[in-house]
Amino acid sequence: EKDGHDWFMRKEIFEQPHAVADSLLGRRSRTGSLQLDEMRLSDQELRDIDKIIIIAAGTSFYAGLVAKYAIEHWCRIPVEVELSSEFRYRDPILDYSTLVVAISQSGETADTLQAIRHARTQRSKVLAICNTNGSTIPRESDAVIYTHAGPEIGVASTKGYTTQLVACYLLALYLAQVKGTRFGDEIDQIMGQLEQIPAAIESILARADEVYALAHEFAASTSFIFLGRHAGYPTALEGALKLKELAYLHAEGFAAGELKHGPIALIDDGLPVFCIVPPQGRDQLHDKMLSGIQEVRARGARTICLAEEGDARITPYADRLVRLPRVPVLLQPLVSVVPLQLFACELATALGHDVDQPRNLAKSVTVE
Ligand code: F6R
């Protein structure tokens, strides 16, 4: 049942090329436009939306953070991302022109369920992104985008997360299409780029041994930092969460630009720092990330850099280097998370922990 893997989690990490491909399947009509089966909100209803609030917990919340970058860039609709457990208690401003997007792999997370119930009492439309057919959250939502990850058994989410990212990109493109933004004309091209992702993930998995070697090399470390910028920031948070959950180690993700505002005080001799390096582009993201990496390195950190193939500028600053396939910056979270999943899984295994059933955690959290 684990297909020769030691853990369901490892099996599920390796299923991601398939899960991502399945989640993209059948979304394009003959004319090339996007179609989402259970959208159930009319084009007019979607055009009336002037604000989106994404609510989710844990790893799903990080998918929401990525979605904000894509939706705001492609659709020019303002997006807030909020933890479901916080949402109701701040008296959020909601009305019929607010779309609330609930992201939940299980569809049963109590915090998220209560949040959408609250949103509906305020007349907001609710769209669920969910992996579990017929679960409570999609049943209580106005529309659903189902991810096609298949059952996720490992408590730590992996293919659940990457397929949520796919659903978020699909939603963003669909809204761009309906609203007729300039990216509405690039849907074909962006879908083409998404369709390359399974092969890109496959190429990382083919080099899993390199990441496993790193996990053994750093197995005695008790603290890890993860740095990212832009769409790489949620990846940093997710990498840190995986390590906390599975290896029970202190791990923190930061936006690289925030370092100098405090966290840099944590940097100590030998501290491992994962750096998620954005693709080299025309903007300054890559330069800014490089300077953050230099800052931590100058203070003794050992940098483990995740950077795209062909990025030669990173080499002098990377104590260890994991190459990522080249993908556009907004899609990079789909590939950059994979080495971090492999690292956490292998490190936890090396430490003798039960990867599929980490202590104190349950697969779905049905209490608030
Ligand atoms: C982390 C993890 C959790 C869930 C969170 C939300 O690996 O699995 O953080 O992401 O409990 O669960 P869902 O998506 O089912 O609402």
Task: Give dist(CA 316, CA 303) in Å, integer.
Answer: 11
Nearest CA residue ID for atom 6, ligand 1: 57
Query: Looking at residue 368, what is its pLDDT?
Result: 86
| pLDDT for residue 137 | 98
Burial 61-91 (b: 16+ CB within 10 A, else e): bbbbbbbbbbbeebbebebbbbebbebbeee
Q: Is the predicted pLDDT of residue 365 greater than 90, yes or no?
A: no
- The residue whose CB lies within 8 Å of the most ligand 1 atoms, and thus the one to mutate among 158, 365, 366, 368, is 365
Q: Is the CB of 106 under 6 A from ligand 1?
A: yes
Element (H, E) at 68: helix 58-75
Residues forming beta bridges with residue 129, ordered by sequence position: 103, 145
C-alpha 286 to ligand 1 mean position (Å): 30
- Count of H-run helices and E-run strands, the chain: 14, 10
Q: Answer whether 132 contacts ligand 1 (Cβ < 6 A).
A: no
Q: Model confidence at 318, in pLDDT bands (50, 70, 90)?
A: very high
Nearest residue (CA) to ligand 1, atom 10: 59
Instruction: Find out whether the beta carbon of 157 lies less than 6 Å from any atom of ligand 1.
Output: yes
Mean pLDDT throughout 264-283? 93
Q: What is the pLDDT of residue 343?
A: 98
* DSSP-assigned states of every residue in 270-314: T-EEEEEPPPP-SSSHHHHHHHHHHHHHHTTPEEEEEEETT--TT
* pLDDT for position 184: 73
> Does the complex come out with an ipTM higher than 0.90?
yes
Task: Report the catalytic residues.
Answer: 363
What's the length of the chain?
Answer: 368
SS3 13: helix
Q: How far apart are CA 123 and CA 98, in angstroms?
A: 9
Q: Which of 157, 244, 359, 367 to mutate to test the pocket of ligand 1 (most atoms within 8 A of CB)?
A: 157
The set of residues, in sequence order, having a beta carbon less than 8 Å from that of 131 and lying 6+ positions away, is 105, 106, 107, 146, 147, 148, 149, 152, 160, 163, 164
Higher pLDDT, 365 or 140: 140
Average model confidence (pLDDT) across the chain: 95
Mean predicted confidence (pLDDT) in 323-350: 98
State yes or no: pLDDT of 31 exceeds 90: no
CA of 271 from ligand 1 middle (Å) equals 28
Is residue 27 predicted with pLDDT exceeding 80?
yes
Q: What percent of the chain is predicted at pLDDT more than 70?
A: 100
Which residue's C-alpha comes closest to atom 11 of ligand 1? Answer: 58
Q: How far apart are CA 277 and CA 294, in angstroms?
A: 12
* CA–centroid distance, residue 299 to ligand 1 (Å): 35
Region of poorest pLDDT, from 18-27, 182-191, 244-253: 182-191
Task: Tell me the C-alpha distance between 204 and 23, whole Å.
Answer: 19
- 153-176 per-position pLDDT tens digit: 998 999 999 999 999 999 999 999
**Ligand 1 within 6 A of CB of 364:** yes
Render pLDDT for 52-76 as a digit per residue (tens, 0 to 9): 999 999 999 999 999 999 999 999 9
In angstroms, what is the span from residue 284 Cα to ligand 1's centroid? 33
- Mean pLDDT, to the nearest integer, of 285-305? 96
Closest residue CA from atom 5 of ligand 1: 58
Q: Does 341 contact ligand 1 (Cβ within 6 A)? A: no
Distance CA 320, CA 301 (A): 11
Among candidate residues 367, 12, 33, 11, the one with its CA nearest the CA of residue 191: 33
How far, in Å, from the CA of 341 to the mean position of ligand 1?
14
Per-residue pLDDT tens over the stretch 77-102: 999 999 999 998 888 999 999 999 99
Q: Could you tell me if the CB of 164 is within 6 A of ligand 1?
A: no
Q: pLDDT for 179-237, tens place per residue?
A: 988 877 789 999 999 999 999 999 999 999 999 999 999 999 999 999 999 999 999 99
Percentage of the chain surpassing pLDDT 90?
A: 90
pTM for the whole thing? 0.97
Least confident of 12-21, 164-173, 288-297, 355-364: 355-364
Asked if residue 57 has its Cβ within 6 Å of ligand 1, the reply is: yes
> How far does the centroid of ligand 1 lie from the alpha carbon of residue 329, in Å?
25
